[in-house]
Each structure stands twice: as structure tokens, then as C-alpha cells.
Chains A and B, each alone.
Chain A
Amino acid sequence: MKPPFSSHNNSHLNRRDFLYGLNASIGAVALNALLSENLGAAGVKPIGAHFPKAKAKHCIFLMMEGGPSHIDTFDPKPRLQDLHLKEFQRNDEMVSAMASGKRYYVKSPFEFQKAGKSGADMNVLWEQLADVADDLCFYRGCQVDSVNHPTAMYQANTGNRFGGDPAIGSWVNYGLGSENQDLPGFIVLPELAHPQGGPANWANGYLPADFQGTPLRPEGSPILDLKPPAGVTTSRQRKNLDLLNVLNTKHAEAHPEHEELKARMTSYELAFRMQMQVPGILDIDKEPQKIRDLYGVDKEPTNSFGRKCLLARKLVEKGVRFVQLYAGTWDSHDYIEKAHGSLIPAVDRPIAALIKDLKERGLLDDTLIVWMGEFGRTPDNGVRGGDTRYGRDHNPKAMTVWMAGGGVKAGHTIGATDEIGGEAVDGVHHIRDFHITLLKLLGLDDNKLTFYHAGRFKQLSQFGGTPIDELIA
């Protein structure tokens, strides 16, 4: 078997990397100049959509870190009312260390509503999201492999439990390329604290570094070292850059055979422009008050996630291919009533606003919105210290994810969990099939979106799978 192109570890192939670097980052003019050169057979151009009819062109991925409880958000389990505090027996092979000691069924402390014409099940705390219930497609059949946060996060984000592989946002950019040369194609809006597993959750893995997710930090410098140290003026830096160019030009003349030099020189000009422009692009304070109110910006508890959702909309508008937002942590082992009870209102308005705003602007049709955590939660819990502390542990066998926008079967709930929410029983698919479905909605065929690495064609789903066509309109 002959690889169609080599792995990118070899220095002589680096040129391709920078062409991509520019593509994925910044600088339209210089980029076009470089791209007009013949890339040759070894070049990695965007693969392009495999399903040209797919509607979604962008994706906003709302990652609810920590594992939101399906039972307390979108998958009510009245049966647990009857079983409340009855002893729970678990006897499969997956008995974890935490299952030792007595465990009890725990009812949901929340009221539920039937929202929209479709009658979607929602915790009543989803006040705003209920308005757009008919835009959502709920899926209750997803299962994952891991009971621990970082490995489950890695699996949700990269398909590989152990990390080290490209994130889904990297794959989508590798497949579709970037629409905006002034911004990275894959932007991550993490919480102030990095999630468990850290930046490997948005890493490019074996794909070229240009497909790496760029985290925009919510406080301080949005990108590390985007600005020069205090006291360095633009004119001083421009002067430095000019002299650097003089030296580099001279050097390049002496090494005509070395093609990387030119690209590295260009990257300095591009970076200089980026540091001037990016802060403006990220500034949401200039948005109209009406819009800021819609998202709940500057009001608690919605300010933090409201800003992210508003920024996500702006980024998608600017052509950023994939934006991933983090909200957390939903890891409510105890006091789920208080914990989920305050987490839901913090994201409810911002998410509903995002959907409404995109719709208003005619962008919802080509934007896929995904809401999920790394796993669901158990119907049972060890009773720890009194009646008020009920929570739920990690559950890889049941969860709720939902999607909205580009091409999803809105107004439907697909799949089901058993009567206590312990395990998915209908429309059950491994998360790899869900990944394949996301790619398909974005026009990409997981089986064709491959990269040759370490002697094998690799893909997001690891080994292939089946799209869940029931989720697609």
C-alpha cells in the first residue's frame, strides 16, 4: 500500500505545512500569492464537502463539561419518584470502585415541561430554550466508553479515549478549509479554567499544526503574547520588523534552495497584522444593547456564557468554521438541585439567544449547533450525609445530546433510555456514530475524511461506523 502523501514529519515537506498555516490563520494577500503557486501532488488542499447538499457549513459546539444529567435536563424519569431512596443494585461487569457501598435511586428534584409544538421534555428551568424547542433535535441513544472525565472528554472531542488524536474541529477544518483568512478556522472558548485533560481536547493531533484549535482566553490576553510586552509601541515594533526583514532577505538570497524561509518571513507580517486586528474582532462591547440583553451579557448569571455565545455568533458570521464553547462544570455528584439548578439558568438564555439570533440573521440554516457533555449521569447515588445532598455519578451508557440548525431533524426526540435513565435502549449508537453524523451534517464523509499517519489511514471515528440518519432531516 502506498500512502497518497507522506506524513508531515519530514522537514522537506514542511512547505505544505506553512501553506496551510497561512490558510488556517491569516493574511489574505500574501496567502493568495502563495496559494497561486502550484501545490503539487503532495499538497493538502481542503478536501471539500463529500455531500454537497449538506446544509451546515459551520458548527457551534456547546460542550457542557462535567457531564450534565439527562435525567434532570431533558429526559424525565417519573419512575424514579416511586423508587426514590430504594436500594439500587448494579451487577454488571463495569462495577466501579464508586459502586461499592450502598446506593439508592434518586428522583429528580426538578419539575418538567412539555415545550413547543413538538412537546419536547425540558426541565422548567429552561425558560428561554423552551421558546425554540421546535428547533431542537434531541437524541437519547448515545453511549460512550469511559467513566472518567478526561478520557470521556477526549473521546467526545477526538474520538480517541486516550487523547493525542485530532479534535473534531480540526477534522472539520481539514475537510472544509477556512472561509476567513484573518482568523483561525477552529476557535475554542474555554472556561477560565481549562477542562480536565487540558488543551489536548482541542489539539490537532497528527494533522498539521495549523488545524489546532485556538483557545481565546476569557480574561487577559485572548491569545498568549498577542501583544508585545508593556512599553513596546507599534512604531518600535514596526522598525524591528523592518530590520528583521532586511536580515532575512539577505539570508534568503544566500539560501535560495531553502523554501521555508519565505514562508517564515511572511508569518511575521501576518502576525503583525493579526495583533492589530484580532482585538477589534473580539470586542463585543460595541454590539447593540438589544443584542447584549438578548444574550444576557453583563447580567448574572448569564454574563459569562452570554458573552461566549455572542462571540460565537460573531465568529461564525466572520466565517470561522468551528467554534467550541465550554460551560461547566456539570459534575454534580451532590446537591444536584442546587448545582444543576444554577447551571441551567446560566446557559439557558445565552443558548436560546444564539439560536434566535442566528435564525434572525438567516444563519441558522447553515450553522450546526451541538449541545452535549462527555457522558450522562446515573439514576442512583450513594446517600452521603443526609437528605439534601442527592446527586448523581457518571454514566457512560445514557445521556442526552441535542442539535439545532443546519439539516437536523428539528422538533424530534430520537432514541430512548430505560425507565430509570440507566441505559440507552432504543436507537442506541456509540458516540463514534454520532461523530459520523455530525460530519455528515457538515457535508463530510467520515470514511473519506482520512489522514495517513504512522502507516495507516486514520479517521475521526477511529474505525468507521454508521451515520444516525434518523437525526438528519
Chain B
Amino acid sequence: MKFSTPIIAACFVFSGLSLSAAEKKSASAKPDKGELLFSLKVKPLMKDKCFACHGEDPEKIKGELNLLTLEDTLKGGETFGEEVLIPGKAKESMLYLTSIREEPDFEMPPKEADMLSEEQTGVIRDWINAGAPWPDDSRVAWVQENYAEGVIVKTSGGLSEDWTGRRYKKEDLWAYQPLKKPVLPAGTKKEQHPVDAFIDAGLKKIELKPAPRATPRELIRRATYDLTGLPPNPSEIEAFLTAYKKDPKKTWSSLIDRLLASPHYGEQWGQHWLDVVRYADSSGFANDYERPNTWRYRDYVIRSFNDDKPYDQFIREQIAGDEIDGSNPEMLIATGFLRMGPWEHTGMSVAKITRQQFLDDITDSVGQVFLAHALQCARCHDHKFDPIPTRDYYAMQACFSTTQFGDREAAWIPGENLAGMDGDKRYHQLRSDTNEAMLKKIQLKLAKNQQRWFDERNLPYKTRKEALKAKAPKKDIPSNRLGFTPNDFGRERIGRKHQNRFKWEFDRYQPIAFSVYSGKTINPKGFQYGRANMPGNPMGKGSLEKTSILGGGSVFSPTIPVDPGVISATPGSEKANIPKQYQGRRKALADWIATPENVLTSRVIANRIWANHFGQGIAGNPNNFGATGKKPTHPELLDWLAVNFSNNKWSFKKFHRLIMTSETYQRSSSYPDPESLKKLDPAHSSFASFIPRRLSAEELRDAMLACSGELNPVLGGIPARPDMNLEAALQPRMIMGTFAPAYVPHPKPEQRNRRSVYTHKTRGQRDPFLDTFNKPGSETSCEMRATSTVTPQVFALFNGEESYDRSLALADKVMKEKLTREKSIARIFQLCFGRNPNPEEQSSCQNHWDELEKMQNASKPEPRIFPTEVIRQAPEENTGENFTFTEILHTYKDYIPDLQPHQVDARTRGLADLCLILFNSNEFVYLY
């Protein structure tokens, strides 16, 4: 190619058009500004955003406007003619005006999601104003090769050369940069905490002073909730305050040690992890079957945090525990992670699709959880923003293509909490027996009907079975629903469905792990309604899956075969050596993820921990480190922390200690000069002060239980069933073809009043209290809790029985301490707020109590009545007529309620209202 010849442009000489654009240039002449803009920015942008409808496919050209060449562009289209492009005059050119969306009904590109950024439209403007030069393809290629900004990332390659050779902004690739420990900022003092050194350097840049240190009272409350999810008790606070006066540093340090050693630490930080992996005790979707053994994974997570299990090991166990040591129960339990997503296979499902949905789920899940990459974006095409070719997506997926569901035998582990199992099993047995009895009754009736039927016809058979066995003609075989009433139909159906579920649920008491194995893929029919048994020979029956890139993500359109692999854009990816044989793929994948050289892994986890301590990450989207996620506000700090984390044997506890001993963590949430803060750091990304947060749903419930003294602090075990709003608990709920069994709480208070992390999590029936306080659903991974303030929260906390029960128990506890009026109120303040009331509060609370007591004297509370059965009524599917079904709630027959109003005197009830007010107060629900 000899010349770049914008001859066409020369044919249209407009006033103001720079002639230089029309001059012939040698192919290697230095490009001018317009040429540069066109080659590097405008052309690729048009290709990306315009050509699909305006040129590429002559059949699909919209509005008769073709933008492929200068000639066509200058010609214009149906709506706009020559005004599409007026070289030199951007503000008159529709190409620009539509791109800034100032032309009503012609905002381009039409999809809001494709909207051009200001930077992009600016490029179009500048190019037009520079005379709109339009060099040909070869010149464009040459300019790109020699002048392009941005970085080409080496990957395994996209589906097109354009994608493979595309350039990325350097800042969008921050997460792929080699990870080395940055030096501390210049001027860091010797005694300065490294975290503070980075944070304060940032503050200095925006000329903002850090907030002073929080008060010791705030500090102990902050740290205790942060590490254990529970409030500090009054004696802990007193001891801390006294010691803090003498030696703040040492006292703070030993507080952190004490809290990290508390078993409640694992519950709190385990919960953060369970949010990310979408923990639930049921499978979701149509049947929402119980997953009887997932609780062992939940306890595994809690145990791992309490044991300060190194994170690299934690990763390996969850991804490949079975391949690492299939004889170790702990390893099998850990792989429950791989099956945490919702899953179903029903009579209507197509096996291949079911399988592909699992593979897509786990590929994306591993990407988000460990690597902060939503890999699903690369399921149907090369990633739009990140250097993830669709080939990598399927290479990662191939790591799981031999992964199979296995509910495997795994002996109880010392320390696993097996208490309460026998009792729970007894009620389950009762429930199951009642159901069997109902079915039997219907069967007996059917047998009678059939016998009568045979008798009426003078047939020699007694049962349908007999007739079938004797190969009787069709007309001589009665229906196996003969004489069914709508009730029979409905109840038989419920009975059958429940029989199935109940049988499976006995697995809860068996040493089984919700786990996986590697081998051939078998039809999911075998485990759609029950335990997934691992075949004796995992390579026996079934097919060995071969992974291909799926066209449009459809399992029915396999294209190019791929081998197991990893994200090729990450440095060192070539070292990941994923075997092609059926075993060991996950182990090799886990090894690649869990190496300190993996630039994503340690950054991702360091950011997650930081985010949970401060309520906001250094990188603002802990599940998305790609181009579209928020960029880190303190990238060097994040790198420093990431390296420090892996250098310290991936120890969580050391990491918490490091963060919490910084001044940054200990800063007050009150900023002395709020106006400056607002002005200089509107997004609160400087960490100049601590960001207050509302207690999470679980913290709120657990804190009330802790204050009232009802909390049973025991660790682990089968899911606890606390009281749920009774209307919600007995709310009929459809599962496939019938009603789900009712939610029934455990009979004893100590079984119910467990920490919220242990409560039974049914995907299709969420606890309304936790739900309204933003406990996330378990369909998708939750990177950070949301907090919103909505009126149903008021109904739950101010009107609900849960908070009233806690208030009454707290009042009763304090009354039993037989303190003076004054001291009783002080005691409640200490328990709830960790401080004494001031005189004003003291007197208004005292007056309130007196008044309430008077009101209470006039009322006579009745004992609450609990249901021992619930009646379901619905149109029966087969007949359309109504049927009823009575479900016996066995547990309620032995139910011991929490303390009730009629059991205490008016004075206690009056005090309970005061406790309720404190539980509802902002001071209780916010953490500073």
C-alpha cells in the first residue's frame, strides 16, 4: 500500500475544510490530529457502536444511513442529509448531536446502555472540528500500530482478530498488574502504621485532616460488633475503659486478641463468606427441596475462620477438597461450596440444559467469589470490557466438566455439634409417620373401591395388581384413583410429595457431606428427588463431557473444543497446568487461584476484608475488579495489604489485627469540620472518618437476644428454627404440584434463640424480619450488604413479636436483679447502649415507666395460643374442586414459649415497653 488517499474528502471541498487532509501523504508520514483521532478513536468507536445498524450489514441498514465510508456519510440518510457530517462544524453535524443525545428521538446509539461517555463524544466533536479526515483502512492500521494508546493484552485469543488485538486503558487493567509490595509513601514516619501511611498520604493530597480517635466506649462497641456481631456486655466495657485510661495501646491490642479468640468471631466472619457464596439450606426453584447436609458446610466455614485457616488452604479445600483427600470428611464437606447455587431438575426439565446451568453457575461463581470477575459476561461472546475471551470462560468451565454431585459418606468430625439431633429427628419421624398414615388410609379406601368395582362386575380379582398380573383386558382394570373425592386426590398428592421429601430429610441426621466427585456425567434423574449417590465407579456409566465454546451460550450449539484452562490475561496463567484427564482439574485450578503469584486472589480477599471492616472496599465492587467495577481509591494500599496477607501465611486473624491497630480504623465517625469533609470528600472514599453503619439483620436479632440474656451461644449444628412471624410461618407456599410443609419452630427456647447464622435458610420462604433488614436473597452472590430504611422495618421491629419477646425477657431479667428504679433503667441503658443514661433520659424514662405501669395495671394479657395444626385449602389440580388438608404441627404440642406478658406483673410489662423503645432507637441500631 503506497498512499493514504482521502480522495473522497477532496471531492467535497467545504469552506473551512483543511486542505492538508486532502494532500497526498506518504504512508509513513506523521499523522495530524484529525487523522490520529479518526484512526485511534473515532473509527473503532464507530465500529463498536454504529456500524451494526449503519453499514456492516447492507440488509439491516437503519434510516438509509451508511457510515462505512466518508462518501456515504456525507450523503446522509433518510432523516438527515448532508447535515450528518459537516467537516469543521461539529455543532452542526448530526453525527455529533445525536451522540450527545441532544436530538430528541434520535439519541444514538439508541440503547441507553450503549450511551457514549463524554470523553467519547468529545472525540467525535474534535475530529469533526479538525476537518473530519477519513484515511483509508491501511493508513488507519498503520497509525494504530504506531500511535495507538492503550495496552494490548495477551490472552488465549478472542473469536475475532479485532477483539484479540484491541487495546485497553491502562487504568482498567489495574487488577492484572503484577503484584509487588509497594514502598511506603515518602515521608512515612518510622512509628507510623503502614495503613495510616497510605491513608494519610491520600488525605494530604486533598488537604483533609483525619478525624480524631473515637472514644474508648465507641471503640469497644465498634470492635466487638465488627469481630463477633454481638454487643460488648457492661462488664467488658467497664474493664476496657478502666484499662484504656492507663494504657490505650495495650488495652486496644488485647481487646482485639480477645475478640479474635472468641468463637463468635468465626460466626461473624463466616457469615460474610456465606453471603458471598449464597449459602442456603434448600435448593430453590420449583420443589425447593431441603438440602439436609449443607449445615455441615456452614459449620466448616465458621470453623475455618475460628481456626484461622490459611486462605490458600481454604480456597483449595472448597474447590477441590475431594481431589486433595477424598478420605477426609472435612475435605468433602468443604466442596459443598461448588453446589451452593440454586438447582433443580424436574419432570419437565431437559437433562442437558440442567447440566449446563450448573456449569455456568459454578464457572461464574468461582470467578466472582475468588477472582472478582463476573465471568458470565463471557458466556455468549468475548467479554465486552475485560480481557476475557469466551474461550477462557469455557476453559475455566472445562475445569468443572467432570465435576459431579455426590452426597458422600463423611464421618462426623470431632467438634461438630450433634446435640439436638435426636430430638429433631423424633419430630421429623412423627411428621413422616402422620403422612404415612394418611396415605395408608387413602390406599385402604382405594382398595375397597376397587374390590367393590370387581365385585360389581363379577370379576375374579381382589386388587388392581392382581388384575394387571393376570393380564386382564383394559376394561377390566379399574382406575388407580377409583372413587377418589377431591380430598382424596389432593391429600394423596400431598402425601406422595411429602413422603418423598421427608424420606430424604432423614439424611440430615446422617454423616453425609453435600459434596462432589470427579467422573462421567450421568442423567440427573437419579438424584432429582433424593440423595445423589456416588457410583462405585465414577467412570462407569454416563458420558465424559468434552467442553466446547457454545455459540450464543446454548448447549445445543457447541463450536470450538477447548481444553481446561484459566484466565489467560493474568500474569503467570501459563503456569497453570490443568490436566486433561478427568481427575485433578479442580485441584490444579485451585492451585492456580491459591498461589501468591495470582494477582487477583490476594487483592480480592484483602479488599473483601477491608470492605467488611469499613463498610466500603478500597475497590468499591468486591465482586468486580474488571473495567466496569469501581477503581480502587488507594491502589497502593490494596497491593500492600494483598502482599502482606499472602506473606503472612494468608492469615485472616493477623490481617484483622493489622487493620484494626491502625489509626484509620480507630477514627471517630464524627468529623469536626463536616463542611470540609463534604466538600473535599463527597464520596467518603478518603477514610478520613469512620463511616457509621446500621447493624445487619442478623446483628440486630442477635444483639436483642444478647441483651435480654436469652442468647444460646452454642456453636454449630443442624439448622435452628426460631420463631418466625406466625402468619408468615404458616403462610401456604406452593411447591411443585402441592403445598410445602409449614415452618414450625423448635420447641424449646434454647433451641430457637440461637445466633442467626444458624437459622434454617429456605430459599422460597425467607424470614420476614431478616428479609426486611436487608438480608440478601441466595440467588446471587452478595458482595456487600445493602441498607435501606423502609417502613416494613418499623412494623417488624416496633410491632413484631420477636422484638417484643426480647423486650419482655430483658425487662424480666432486670426486674429479677431487684435494683432500684433508677438503677434498673441504668442497667437497661448499659445493656443496650453500653452507657448510663443522662439525668434527662433517666427522668423521662422513669416517668414513662410509671405511666406504662399504670396502663398495664388496667390490662389483663391472655396467654398466647399456638396452633397445633394448620388447614390448607385449595382447588385440586385434577378436578378443579376444593380440597382440604390438615397438617399436624407436632412440635407445637411440646412448644415452650418464651416468657409471655401474662406471666409477669404490670411493672415488668411497663419496663418491657421501655426496653422495646431502646431496641428501636437509633443508638441501638447504628454503629459508630
Residues of A within 8 A of B (CB): 1-3, 6-12, 14, 17-18, 21, 24-26, 93-98, 147-151, 162-164, 192-200, 203, 208-210, 212, 214, 217, 220-221, 223-233, 235-237, 239-240, 243-244, 246-248, 250-252, 255-258, 260-261, 263-265, 267-268, 270-272, 274-275, 329, 331-335, 338-343, 385-386, 389, 391, 393-394, 445, 447-450, 454-459, 464
* Cβ contacts B302-330/A at 8 Å (1 or 0 each): 00000000000000000000000000000
B113 touches A459 (CB 8 A): yes
Chain B residues near A195 (CB, 8 Å)? 734
Q: How far is the CB of B740 from chain A (nearest CB, A)?
A: 9
* B451 touches A (CB below 8 Å): no
* B620 touches A (CB below 8 Å): yes
B348 touches A148 (CB 8 A): yes
Q: How far is the CB of B95 from chain A (nearest CB, A)?
A: 20
C-alpha gap A17/B792 in the complex (Å): 14
* B662 touches A (CB below 8 Å): no
* B845 touches A (CB below 8 Å): yes
Binds A, one of B85-93, B150-158, B291-299, B668-676: B668-676
Chain B residues near A239 (CB, 8 Å)? 848, 851-852, 855
Given A264-B922, A454-B621, is A12 in contact with B691 using a C-beta cutoff of 8 Å? yes
Given A8-B786, A193-B733, A236-B913, is A1 in contact with B349 using a C-beta cutoff of 8 Å? no
* B789 touches A (CB below 8 Å): yes
* B258 touches A (CB below 8 Å): no
Closest partner residue, chain A, to B357 (CB atom): A162
C-alpha gap A225/B790 in the complex (Å): 14
A198 touches B733 (CB 8 A): yes
Q: Which residue in B624, B784, B851, B926 is a CB contact (below 8 Å) of A258?
A: B926
Given A6-B630, A227-B799, A247-B917, is A95 in contact with B350 using a C-beta cutoff of 8 Å? yes
A-B contact pairs, 26 of them (CB 8 A): A8-B786, A12-B691, A18-B788, A21-B789, A96-B350, A97-B348, A151-B286, A193-B733, A193-B734, A196-B764, A198-B733, A198-B763, A199-B766, A200-B777, A224-B728, A229-B801, A239-B855, A240-B913, A252-B922, A256-B674, A258-B669, A331-B877, A341-B880, A394-B348, A455-B628, A457-B112
C-alpha gap A457/B114 in the complex (Å): 9
Binds A, one of B67-75, B339-347, B409-417, B534-542: B339-347
* B861 touches A (CB below 8 Å): yes
* B487 touches A (CB below 8 Å): no
Q: How far is the CB of B258 from chain A (nearest CB, A)?
A: 27
B620 touches A6 (CB 8 A): yes
Given contacts A96-B348, A265-B922, A447-B112, 19 further A-B contacts (CB under 8 A): A21-B791, A97-B348, A150-B344, A192-B732, A193-B739, A198-B764, A198-B765, A217-B731, A228-B798, A239-B851, A247-B923, A331-B737, A335-B879, A339-B875, A342-B875, A394-B348, A450-B113, A455-B385, A458-B113
Chain B residues near A196 (CB, 8 Å)? 285-286, 734-736, 764
Q: How far is the CB of A210 from chain B (nearest CB, A)?
A: 6
Q: Which residue in B620, B763, B795 is a CB contact (below 8 Å) of A275?
A: B795
A339 touches B879 (CB 8 A): yes
A229 touches B671 (CB 8 A): no
C-alpha gap A26/B626 in the complex (Å): 39
A260 touches B913 (CB 8 A): no
* B783 touches A (CB below 8 Å): yes
Q: How far is the CB of B31 from chain A (nearest CB, A)?
A: 27
Given A12-B684, A455-B629, is A389 in contact with B922 using a C-beta cutoff of 8 Å? no
C-alpha gap A197/B347 in the complex (Å): 17
* B692 touches A (CB below 8 Å): yes
The 10 closest A-B pairs by CB, nearest first: A455-B628, A342-B880, A271-B794, A193-B732, A164-B779, A457-B113, A225-B795, A17-B788, A339-B880, A209-B788
C-alpha gap A109/B622 in the complex (Å): 57
Chain B residues near A2 (CB, 8 Å)? 117
A247 touches B841 (CB 8 A): yes
Q: Which of A97, A274, A391, A457 has the most CB of B within 10 A?
A: A97
Given A149-B736, A338-B879, A339-B879, is A162 in contact with B342 using a C-beta cutoff of 8 Å? yes
* B715 touches A (CB below 8 Å): no
Q: Which of B841-872 contact A (CB under 8 A)?
A: 841, 844-845, 848, 851-852, 855, 859, 861-862, 872
Residues of B within 8 A of A (CB): 110-113, 117, 284-286, 288, 342, 344, 346-352, 374, 377, 385, 479-481, 525, 556, 615-616, 620-621, 623-624, 626-630, 669-671, 674, 677, 683-684, 689, 691-694, 725, 727-728, 731-737, 739, 763-766, 768, 774, 777, 779-780, 783-796, 798-801, 804, 840-841, 844-845, 848, 851-852, 855, 859, 861-862, 872-875, 877-881, 901, 913-914, 916-918, 920-923, 925-926, 928
Closest partner residue, chain A, to B804 (CB atom): A229
Closest partner residue, chain A, to B864 (CB atom): A230
Closest partner residue, chain A, to B360 (CB atom): A162
Closest partner residue, chain B, to A252 (CB atom): B922
Q: How far is the CB of A135 from chain B (nearest CB, A)?
A: 27
Given A267-B793, A447-B111, is A335 in contact with B736 using a C-beta cutoff of 8 Å? no
Chain B residues near A198 (CB, 8 Å)? 288, 733, 763-766
B616 touches A248 (CB 8 A): no
B620 touches A21 (CB 8 A): no
Chain B residues near A256 (CB, 8 Å)? 670, 674
Chain A residues near B725 (CB, 8 Å)? 224-225
A244 touches B733 (CB 8 A): no
Q: How far is the CB of A359 from chain B (nearest CB, A)?
A: 30
C-alpha gap A29/B85 in the complex (Å): 52
C-alpha gap A26/B792 in the complex (Å): 11
C-alpha gap A10/B617 in the complex (Å): 9
C-alpha gap A328/B614 in the complex (Å): 47
Q: How far is the CB of B118 from chain A (nearest CB, A)?
A: 8
Closest partner residue, chain B, to A198 (CB atom): B764
Chain B residues near A455 (CB, 8 Å)? 374, 385, 621, 624, 626-629
B921 touches A247 (CB 8 A): yes
B346 touches A251 (CB 8 A): no
B921 touches A271 (CB 8 A): no
Chain A residues near B628 (CB, 8 Å)? 1, 3, 455-456
B693 touches A11 (CB 8 A): yes
C-alpha gap A135/B387 in the complex (Å): 53
A11 touches B928 (CB 8 A): no
Given A1-B117, A198-B765, A448-B112, is A257 in contact with B795 using a C-beta cutoff of 8 Å? no
Chain B residues near A332 (CB, 8 Å)? 877-878, 880
Given A11-B693, A343-B880, is A147 in contact with B793 using a C-beta cutoff of 8 Å? no
C-alpha gap A223/B481 in the complex (Å): 40
C-alpha gap A340/B916 in the complex (Å): 51
C-alpha gap A221/B689 in the complex (Å): 44
C-alpha gap A454/B626 in the complex (Å): 10
Q: Which residue in A96, A212, A229, A261 is a CB contact (below 8 Å) of B922?
A: A261
Given A6-B630, A10-B784, A240-B917, is A194 in contact with B795 using a C-beta cutoff of 8 Å? no
A464 touches B113 (CB 8 A): yes
A150 touches B921 (CB 8 A): no
B851 touches A226 (CB 8 A): no
Q: Which of A10, A24, A214 has the most CB of B within 10 A?
A: A10
A150 touches B789 (CB 8 A): no
Chain B residues near A338 (CB, 8 Å)? 878-881
Q: How far is the CB of A156 from chain B (nearest CB, A)?
A: 15
C-alpha gap A21/B916 in the complex (Å): 24
C-alpha gap A17/B117 in the complex (Å): 26
A385 touches B479 (CB 8 A): yes
C-alpha gap A228/B570 in the complex (Å): 57
B286 touches A150 (CB 8 A): yes
Chain B residues near A209 (CB, 8 Å)? 774, 786, 788, 790
A11 touches B615 (CB 8 A): yes
